[in-house]
Amino acid sequence: MFNPEGIPLARQVDYVFRQLEGELKNAAAGTVHIHVRNNSVGKFGVKHHPIESRNGELKPSERGLTTQQVESFRKMAIEALKMKRNWTHGEICYDFATRPGTGTWSASVLYESNYNMANQTGSLFQYSPKQQRYRPE
């Protein structure tokens, strides 16, 4: 079992892409998503469309990423971590697509940082009940 505690996030992302390699080789387009908590990967996966509909007929999608493209994608994902700044909780999404007939592919990265006010010490927002005013009758 993989225990990410104490392992740099770059090595964890490397592990994620190696685990997803089989799915990525069959995917023409989709999104790799990685949930991060305390700079550790909590869960990950890939969303893609394995079946396309053309003129009302279901057909398997065209050829997905090649082995070499998956390797380049993995390296790009690790390199993109250099753009992550000052957050430890959130999600990383890597959108990718192949271009049929050209042998090329593209990818983009989306970072989402998450913060939880319940975990903030010395919160600025503390509830104080409203005091009743004395009203003479």
How far is Cα 12 from Cα 3, in angstroms, rounded to an integer?
9
Is 46 in contact with 31 (CB distance < 8 Å)? yes
Q: Digits of tens for pLDDT over the chain (137 positions)?
A: 566 678 999 999 999 999 999 999 978 899 999 999 999 999 999 998 767 777 888 776 667 899 999 999 999 999 999 999 899 999 999 999 998 778 899 999 999 999 877 666 655 556 666 666 676 76
30 vs 21, 47, 48, 126, CA distance in Å?
Answer: 13, 5, 4, 43
DSSP, collapsed to helix, strand or coil, labels residue 127 as coil
What's the pTM? 0.77
Query: How far, in Å, are 63, 65, 110, 125 from residue 100 at the CA level?
Result: 8, 10, 24, 53
Q: What six digits make up the tokens of 69? A: 């493209």
Q: Tell me the domain boundaries of the chain.
A: 9-115
Query: 3-class secondary structure for 23-43?
Result: HHHCCCEEEEEEEEECCEEEE
pLDDT of the residue at 48: 87
